[in-house]
Chains A and B, each alone.
Chain A
Amino acid sequence: MSAVLHAHPESGPSLGVADSGKSRRVLSEAGMRGRWWRFVLILAITAIVLVPIMVTVILALTPGPGSTATGLTLENITGVFSKTLAATWLGNSLITTLSTVVVSVAVAAPAGYVLSRGRSKAVSGYSLLLFVMQSLPIITSVVPLFILFANMGLVDNLLGLTIIYVGSTMTVATWMMAAYFDSIPISLEEASWIDGCSVFGSFTKVVLRNSLPGILSTAIFAFLLAWNDYLVAIVFLRSDEIFTLPVGVQSFFQQNLTDWSGVMALAVVMMLPPIIVFATLNRYFSVGGIGGSLAGR
C-alpha cells in the first residue's frame, strides 16, 4: 500500500535516485489525502454515533434549574448521591457484578477446558446443550425461578440475582474460555504429563497460568452482562435499598421525569464503571473467539 511508502519520505540521502524519489512523493501525497479523507469520515461518523453519550455527560455536568453554579459542575453528581440511594445502588451493583465475574470465570474455565480438550460424544453433546440454552429467552426461566427463589427467600436478594447472572453468563463465558484454551498448544501440557503431572494439575499449572488474556476477556464479558442487566433485576428486586443501578436509575427517571440533570448524573455514575473497565482492558477483549469456539466443535 502507498501508506507504507511515505513512512520516511525525508530520511536518507536519496539524491542519486531523483526520479524514483519523485514518484514516491506523488504516491505518498495521494495516500496522505486518502488517509485524511477517511479520518474526516470516521470522525464525523463517530461524532454522530456518540451524540447520545455526549448528551448524557453534558447534561450531567451542566448546572440544573435553580442552581447558582456557572460553567461545568459536579454538583448534580454529588446531588444524586445525597438525595437518592445512589451510593447503595452502586455498592449493590458492584457486589453483584464482581461476584458474578469471579464465580462465572471459576465455573467456565474448567468447563471450557473440557470442551477444548475433550473429544467424546458426551462433551460435544454438552456443547450443543449449552448452545441451545444460550438461545432461550431468559423470560422463560425468570418466572419459574421467581417462584423457586421466593420459596427460598432469594427474591429481593442480591445472592439470588448473582446466581441467575452466573447461570446466564456461563454459556458464553465457557465458549470464550474454550476458544482461548484452543490456542494453548497441547505440547506444553504433554511436557508436564511426562513429569508425572495429572490432567487436573496440567490444567491449573500449565493452561490456566498461560490464560490471563482469555480469563480477562471472559471476565469483561461477564462484567458487562451483569452490570447492564435490566430484566432480571426488575423482576427480582423489590425494595429501594436492594436495587442495583439499572433499577435505581430507571425508578429515579420515572419519578423525576423532568429532572434531567439528576437523571443524567445518575446515568453517568452507572456508565463509568463499564467504560473504565473497557478503557483499561479492551486490548484483551475479543468476541471473535465466540465464533471460532462455536464453529470449532
Chain B
Amino acid sequence: MSSTTAQSGLARARRGLAPGGSGGRPRNEDLNRKSKLSGQTTRTFFWLLLPSIVLVILINGYPLIYAAVQATHDGSLIDTGNFVGLDNFTSVLTSPAFWKAAQFTLLFTIVGVFGSWGVGLGLALLLRTKIPAGGAFKVLLLLPWVVPIVVSSTAWNWLVATPDSLIPSIFRNLGLGTPLFLADPHLAAVMVMVFKVWVSFPFMMMMTSAALASVDTTVYEAASMDGATKWQQFTQITLPMIARSTYISWILMTIFCVNDFPTIYLLTGGGPVDATTSLVVLAYRSVFQDFQTGHGVAIAFLMTLTLVIVSVFLYRQIRKSSVE
C-alpha cells in the first residue's frame, strides 16, 4: 500500500525525537522529507486542523478585519457610521490620555514581568531544596494564580481600600500614618503592580520549576569541588541552563501584562484620576462607557499592530535560540 510506505517515511523523518520534544529537533531534515508525505497524510492533517482553522478565522481573523473597518469609521456599537479615514488614529495619537496610558502599560508590564519572575524564581529555587512538606507549599503557593481575579481583587479591596481597612489600620498603629492605597495616584499604581505580581508569580514559579527539574545536579557537585561559590553556581550554571525557558516565560508574561484587564479594572477601575489606566482599560472605556467605538478600536488596533510586530520578532528569537 502506498500510504503505508509514505507513513513509514514520515516515521523515519520523525524518529530521533527526544521525549519532551523541546528544542534540538532535526528540523531541516524533516522539511526535506516533506515530499515523502503522501497526499492522504496531508489530507488527514488538513481535516484534523480544520476545526481549529475555522475558530481562528471566526474569533480572530474576522474581528481583526472588522476592527480595521471600525477604526476608520466614526460609528457606535449599533451603527457603523461614516468613513473618517485615519482621523481616529490621529486623535488617539495626539491625545495625552493615550500616551499616559501607554506609559503606565509599559511600567506595569516591566514590573509585572520582572517582579513575578524574581519572586517565582526565588521560590522555585527554595522549593527545589529538601523542605518538610515541600509538596504542600508548592500547591498552596499556586493559589493566587488559581483563585479567580474577581475573588482576589475583592479580598485586596477589603484589605486596603478604605482608611479603616486592615492594612492601613496596621500602618496607623505602627505610627506610619494612614496610607490611602487606592486613593493616592502613586500608591494606587504601586498597588496594582503588587497585585499583578501576586497573581502572576505562581505561573513563573511553575515555569521555572519545570526548567530547574531538567538541570543535571551533578554539575553543581563538580562546580563546588572546583571551589565555585553558591552565587557563582547560580549565575554561571543555573541561570544559563534555564535561559531559554526564562526567555519564553518573559515573553508570555509580557503578553499577559500588556493585555491584562481584570487585575487593573477590578482593583482600581483605572483610577484615581486615570493613574492606573492601561491601554486596554482606556480602549474598554472608550467603547463601552464613552461610546466612541472608533476611538476605542483604534487604540486596540494600535496595540494589536505593535504586538503583532513584537510577537513575530520574539517568535523568531525563540526558534533561533532553540536551534542552537
Contacts and interface: CB of A to CB of B under 8 A. Distances in A.
A71 interface: no
A38 to B, nearest CB: 5
Interface of B: 1, 3-4, 7-8, 10-11, 13-15, 17, 19-23, 25, 27, 30-31, 33-34, 37, 40-42, 44-45, 47-49, 51-53, 55-56, 58-60, 62-64, 66-67, 70, 77, 123, 126-127, 129-134, 137, 139-144, 146-152, 154-156, 158-159, 166, 198, 203, 206-207, 209-211, 213, 244-245, 248-249, 252, 255, 258-259, 261-262, 265-266, 279-280, 283-284, 287-288, 293, 296-297, 300-301, 303-304, 307-308, 310-312, 315, 318-319, 321-322
Interface of A: 1, 3, 34-36, 38-39, 41-43, 45-46, 49-53, 55-56, 59, 106-108, 110-111, 113-114, 116-121, 123, 126, 128-148, 150, 163-164, 166-168, 170, 174, 179, 182-183, 185-187, 189-190, 193-194, 196, 198-200, 203, 224, 227-228, 230-231, 235, 245-246, 249-250, 253, 260, 263-264, 267, 270-271, 274-275, 278-279, 282, 286-297
Contact of A139 (B147, B152, B155, B284): B284
B63 A110 contact: no
Contact of A193 (B11, B44, B198): B11
A50 B143 contact: yes
A230 B261 contact: yes
A232 to B, nearest CB: 10
Nearest to A288: B210
State the majority secondary structure of interface residues on B. Answer: helix
A260 B148 CA distance: 17
State the majority secondary structure of interface residues on A. Answer: helix
Contacts of B10: 117, 199
B137 A270 contact: no
B52 A108 contact: yes
A143 B70 contact: yes
B185 to A, nearest CB: 22
B321 to A, nearest CB: 7
B150 to A, nearest CB: 4
A36 B33 CA distance: 56
B155 A55 contact: yes
Contacts of A282: 139, 142
Nearest to A146: B77
Lowest 7 CB-CB distances: which A-B pairs, in order?
Answer: A182-B21, A288-B210, A167-B59, A292-B22, A144-B66, A110-B48, A119-B30
